[in-house]
Amino acid sequence: SKLYLREPSLLREQCYLNGEWHSADSGETFPVENPATGAVIAYVPRMGVTETRRAIDAANAAWPAWRKLTAKARGGILRAWFNLMLEHQDDLAMILTTEQGKPLNEAKGEIQYAASFIEWFAEEAKRAYGDVIPTVANDRRILVVKEPIGVCAAITPWNFPAAMITRKAGPALAAGCPMIVKPAESTPLTALALGVLAERAGVPAGVFQVITGAPQQIGDELTANPIVRKVSFTGSTRVGAQLMAQCAPTIKKLSLELGGNAPFIVFDDADLDEAVAGAIASKFRNSGQTCVCTNRFYAHSDVYEAFVGKLTEAVAKLRVGLGTEEGVTQGPLINEGAVAKVESHIADALSHGGRIVTGGRRHALGHGFFEPTVIADATPEMKVAREETFGPLASVFRFRSDDEVVHLANNTEFGLAAYFYSRDIGRIWRVAEALEYGMVGINTGLISNEVAPFGGVKQSGLGREGSHYGLDEYLETKYLCMGGV
């Protein structure tokens, strides 16, 4: 089960700290498994508080020289990193698929998406403009400058092992901040491979570091240490809230990208074929394991049966299998807990009168594999109405009026992504404005790219990633009042 790479040196079993590759002080490691087979791919260091503290000190030491470089000089180094990611995209995708499970072409798409953040912010940091404000007195001038916030930490999830790192490290490094990344336990190998390429691109020692190990211990130090000025986290709302509390005593800046419960509304004037294509993209990408994946489909009663019929036909065409196999569209879920959650949501839906139209069971391939599933006659009493399934389960609810469906869509503590299909321009404006979400897809199921602001409202998080807004998250605003003019 050894994985074949053109360049085997991209696979690392040590952490990248202060420009060097290190094992844990204790020598301890933990295994990284292939979710499609259960086979161990590699062992990575189980680091803790001591190594984290050392990484923070190294980042702090590297900060002055890094911030002193011009944005153009930092951008040049980042561009070299971007080029290396594209050059090695096949190997990076292979590592990603092997530890995460998604189909190889989706993994390659993620590497390109991940690299795009490095490219975008390498360019954008040159435009971190300040301001000159008309004065209130003749002997003074009022100036505003933007400065890098300082040492940053990122704690990232397993569903996008590359992109969730570059979406944070790109703007941090471009702005002049060093960054320490703690990747998810399930997917550290992609993160370490990015470290190899950062080193090769000429990112100075301590500016980009990757530490693997005990989440609690590393997280405690990253949030408590006063040298760290900013923490950026993507993951569950539960852990996000905990990290926010841990950051409170030292008043750290925070970016949080947390859970969602995305609604997808099909109005009676929608193009149903386009709606189904968008539904498949938004629901079944990454086997349903993205925070912007649709969790609740709402179809108008006049088009309900037609939408369910077409959706079922499209779902039946999805192919479940090993991510490395040609033609596969659905890889395994990340682990047994993820599979059990999908099963429990299906059982709960059935007990409340739901109807399985297709799928519904573990896939014959075993491990993390699950049949893509459609449940009709979904109701608000079901778990699927309230909780993020994070798997290949599409539940379809019925509605009759615009007001009713907007109320249902907003009736959640989350507010990340929402989608709807309609051709009526008045309705499009009214619904787009009424949805309490950070991102709204109108007649599309795919909304993520590096030039647009990604993020949520309510309990889905704080701050925005990507776009020029994403750079602000790593900059402080400093006011200079010049007297004696």
Tell me the residue nearest to ligand ADP as measured from the CB: 219
CB-nearer residue toward ligand ADP: 216 or 344: 216
CB-nearer residue toward ligand ADP: 159 or 312: 159
Q: Using the rule CB under 6 A, which residue among 11, 24, 95, 155 binds ligand ADP?
A: 155
Query: Taking the CA of residue 1 as centre, how many other CA atoms within 13 Å lie in the half-sphere pointing to its CB?
Result: 13
CB-nearer residue toward ligand ADP: 86 or 244: 244
- Piece of 122-130, 150-158, 204-212, 424-432 that binds ligand ADP (CB under 6 A): 150-158
Q: Using the rule CB under 6 A, which residue among 50, 70, 216, 401 binds ligand ADP?
A: 216
CB-nearer residue toward ligand ADP: 12 or 182: 182
User: Closest separation between CB of residue 289 and ligand ADP, Å?
Assistant: 9
Q: Using the rule CB under 6 A, which residue among 14, 18, 236, 335 binds ligand ADP?
A: 236
User: Closest separation between CB of residue 426 and ligand ADP, Å?
Assistant: 39
The answer to whether residue 436 is catalytic is: no
Active-site option among 51, 124, 199, 257: 257
- Piece of 97-105, 106-114, 215-223, 296-304 that binds ligand ADP (CB under 6 A): 215-223
Q: Does 260 bind ligand ADP (CB under 6 A)?
A: no
215: number of Cβ within 10 Å = 14
CB-nearer residue toward ligand ADP: 187 or 467: 187
Q: Does 335 bind ligand ADP (CB under 6 A)?
A: no
> How big is the site for ligand ADP, counted in residues (CB under 6 A)?
13
The dihedral sign for the CA sequence 214, 369, 189, 446: negative
Q: Using the rule CB under 6 A, which residue among 52, 98, 156, 460 binds ligand ADP?
A: 156
CB-nearer residue toward ligand ADP: 23 or 242: 242
**Which residues, numbered 174-213, are part of the site for ligand ADP (CB under 6 A)?**
182, 184-185
Q: Does 235 bind ligand ADP (CB under 6 A)?
A: yes
Q: Does 215 bind ligand ADP (CB under 6 A)?
A: yes
**Which residues, numbered 338-377, are part of the site for ligand ADP (CB under 6 A)?**
none
User: Closest separation between CB of residue 156 and ligand ADP, Å?
Assistant: 6
Report d(CA 179, CA 187) in Å as an integer: 18
User: Closest separation between CB of residue 248 and ligand ADP, Å?
Assistant: 14
User: Closest separation between CB of residue 215 and ligand ADP, Å?
Assistant: 3
- Piece of 236-244, 368-376, 378-386, 441-449 that binds ligand ADP (CB under 6 A): 236-244
CB-nearer residue toward ligand ADP: 155 or 322: 155
Q: Does 239 bind ligand ADP (CB under 6 A)?
A: yes
Active-site residues, by number, are 257
List interacting residues with ligand ADP (CB under 6 A): 155-157, 182, 184-185, 215-216, 219, 235-236, 239, 242
